[in-house]
Structure formats: C-alpha cells, structure tokens
Amino acid sequence: MSAGDARDANVAGPFPGLGYGEPVSDCEFTSLAGSSAEPARAAVAEEVPVAFVYAQRPHVVLMATPCDLEDLAVGFTLTEGIVEHAGEIRGVTVARHSRGIDLLIDVAAPVVDRLAARSRALAGRSSCGLCGVTAIDDAVRIPPRVVSSLTVTAEAIWRATTALESGQPLNRDTHALHGAAWATASGEVRIVREDVGRHNALDKVFGALARAGIAAGDGFVIVTSRASFELVQKAAVSGVPIVAAISRPTGLAVRMADVAGICLVGLVRGRSANVYTHPSRILPQ
C-alpha cells in the first residue's frame, strides 16, 4: 500500500502508509543481492494500537494485529482476571477510528466496581505485556493450581505442532506473526490465532474457546515463541494443564509452571522436545 492509498482508505492511520483495516498490507521495498538493488513488493504484518475500555474507562493499550478482535477482548479480559468467568462479559463492540481501535467491553456491575477498586491503567507493547504495571504483585501473580487428569502422548504434541505451522496464513505471507493453537488430547488442532504479540495470540485462542463454550482444560496449547511466564500465567487462569512452545522457556516460566501443576514443554522441533515440568502428563508412545 502506498502513502496515497492509505490517505484514500476508509480507515487510515496517523502515519503515511499505515491503515487500520486489514491485518496484512502490501509494501514496496528495495531488494539487495550482492551488488544489485531491485524494486520489489511483499506482504507485511500490520500492528495497531488497541485500547481496552471497560464501562467507558480506558484500561490498557496493546499493539496488536487487527483481526479476531472480539476473541482478543474476551481472552484478555479472562486471563487478566478482570472477570471471574465469561458470563460477566455482556458484549464487545469494536470501534475503528483514525488513531487506532477501541474495544468497548460491556461487563457486569460487580466487575466495574472491582476495576474501580483496582484502579490500574497501563500501556503495553507487542513485545511486552508489563509496561506500565505499577506493582510487582501485578506483574508476577501467583498462578492458580491447575487440577486436571489430562495426559497426552508425544505423538499428539508432534501432530498439533505440524497443524499449527500449516494453519498460519498471515505468517506464511509475512513471516512476522506469532501463532497459538488449542488442541484436543489427541493432538487435533481446533483453534489457531495469529498476532504480532505472542500474548495477544494466546488471548485470542482463549477468547475463541470461551465464545464457543469449549473448556480450555480439555486440551493443550502450543505457541510459536519462547515460553514466557505470562503465557504460563494465562494458561493457569484458563485451566490448561499442558503448554508447548517452539522455543525454550524462561526460568521463571519453569518455576511458575511447576507451582501451577502445568506440564511445560519447550523446544518443540519436529519430533523432539524438552519437558521441563510435570513430565507424567506426557505418556510413553
């Protein structure tokens, strides 16, 4: 998309060449190869500021990919503990404008009261879910213990990982998006979501599960990123007993998964992986 195209778009951002309508746009660039320089075009991932607004009160701004925004609104609201269950979310309105996107989330009256008491406002980035947190306790919350008898085979992990890789059309075009998926115990992937932020991608998955009435704890999740502690926190809140990641976990993520009763699997590559916590959840072949 050229600067002129962006200015002519129905929903244009404040910067030349940036529109807030689609998750992927076309970009012109110069391709360098050895001593040559040639004009080229390719798809690039869009990231836009997305504001979460509860009871007309701004709560947080995240940089996110502008798709599956209702899922993001519901998933974030659940995994951040803003509501205790999905029934406290009455509705989501997506309002797009020239400065970004507002997610207007209608919640039950007790939630509004809790938010007023909590009185936390923060500003985030796609690479970090903690910017603006004012207290350590807000950043590193003690996760709930996941009570589940779910076990899977290593084969189920391999099957789900392969399905996740093939289920990311936006990343296939841009090579710039994280992916997250939820799979059944047999490794059948039911939901895949993409976003520039790994936290956002996982929140979209949990939001989609809640909106579909599917119990997250009946399966496991896979993410195409390192396993950070925030992802483990979100899985624990959602009751997911197994988290698998393409890259390695952080030390804090390992300790948090151990406390939460979550089997944390990292460095899933092909048919190999490392199981860092609660290996009894992975059955022999």
Q: Is 64 among the domain residues?
A: yes
Q: Is 144 among the domain residues?
A: no
Q: What secondary structure letter does DSSP report for 142?
A: P
Could you give the C-alpha distances from 149 to 146, 226, 281, in angstroms and in order?
Answer: 10, 25, 8
> Domain check: are 96 and 61 in the same one?
yes
Residue 192 structure tokens:
């895949």
- The amino acid that residue 183 corresponds to is A
Q: Is 180 among the domain residues?
A: yes
> Domain check: are 12 and 71 in the same one?
no
> Domain check: are 52 and 168 in the same one?
no
How far is the C-alpha of 52 from the C-alpha of 37, rounded, in Å? Answer: 43
Which whole number is the average pLDDT over 62-85? Answer: 95
User: Which pairs with CB-CB distance under 8 Å and at least 24 residues apart come from 88-96?
Assistant: 94/69, 94/70, 96/11, 96/20, 96/21, 96/66
pLDDT band at 20 (very low <50, low <70, confident <90, very high): low
> Domain check: are 249 and 160 in the same one?
yes
> Domain check: are 218 and 110 in the same one?
no
| Percent of the chain whose pLDDT exceeds 90 | 64
Q: Is 146 among the domain residues?
A: no
How far is the C-alpha of 3 from the C-alpha of 183, rounded, in Å? Answer: 41
pLDDT band at 113 (very low <50, low <70, confident <90, very high): confident
Q: Is 32 among the domain residues?
A: yes
- Residue 19, pLDDT > 70, answer no
> Domain check: are 53 and 128 in the same one?
yes
| Domain enclosing residue 23, as ranges | 3-45
Q: What secondary structure letter does DSSP report for 93?
A: E
* Listed residues 105, 139, 173: the one ending a domain: 139
Q: Count of domains in the chain?
A: 3
> Domain check: are 160 and 272 in the same one?
yes
* Listed residues 117, 139, 161: the one ending a domain: 139
Residue 54 and residue 105 in contact, taking contact as beta carbons nearer than 8 Å: yes
Check the CA dihedral 251-255-256-262 and report its sign: positive
Residue 129 maps to which CATH number? 3.10.20.10
Distance from the first to the final alpha carbon of the chain: 50
Residue 82 and residue 107 in contact, taking contact as beta carbons nearer than 8 Å: yes
Global pTM value: 0.86
175 Cβ contact partners less than 8 Å away, ≥ 6 residues apart: none
> Domain check: are 174 and 260 in the same one?
yes
- Residue 122, pLDDT > 50, answer no
Structure confidence by residue, pLDDT tens digits, 49-59: 899 999 888 88
Q: Is 145 among the domain residues?
A: no
> Domain check: are 57 and 106 in the same one?
yes
* Listed residues 92, 118, 139: the one ending a domain: 139
Nearest Cα residue to 48 out of 94, 4, 105: 94
Is 263 known to be catalytic?
no
Question: Looking at 42-51, 130-139, 162-171, 229-238, which range is the least confident one?
Answer: 130-139
Instruction: Give the sheet arrangement for strand 122-123, strand by strand.
Output: 89-97, 100-107, 48-54, 57-64, 122-123
106 Cβ contact partners less than 8 Å away, ≥ 6 residues apart: 89, 90, 91, 92, 93
Looking at 27, 128, 131, 263, which residue is catalytic?
A: 128
> Domain check: are 245 and 256 in the same one?
yes
Could you give the C-alpha distances from 157 to 140, 209, 221, 224, in angstroms and in order?
Answer: 28, 19, 9, 13
> Domain check: are 191 and 69 in the same one?
no
Residue 182 maps to which CATH number? 3.40.140.10
Which whole number is the average pLDDT over 215-234? Answer: 95
> Domain check: are 37 and 58 in the same one?
no
Q: Is 20 among the domain residues?
A: yes
At how many degrees (to 10) do helices 229-238 and 198-212 cross?
A: 10
- Residue 105, pLDDT > 90, answer yes
pLDDT band at 48 (very low <50, low <70, confident <90, very high): confident
Structure confidence by residue, pLDDT tens digits, 239-269: 999 999 999 999 989 999 999 999 999 999 9
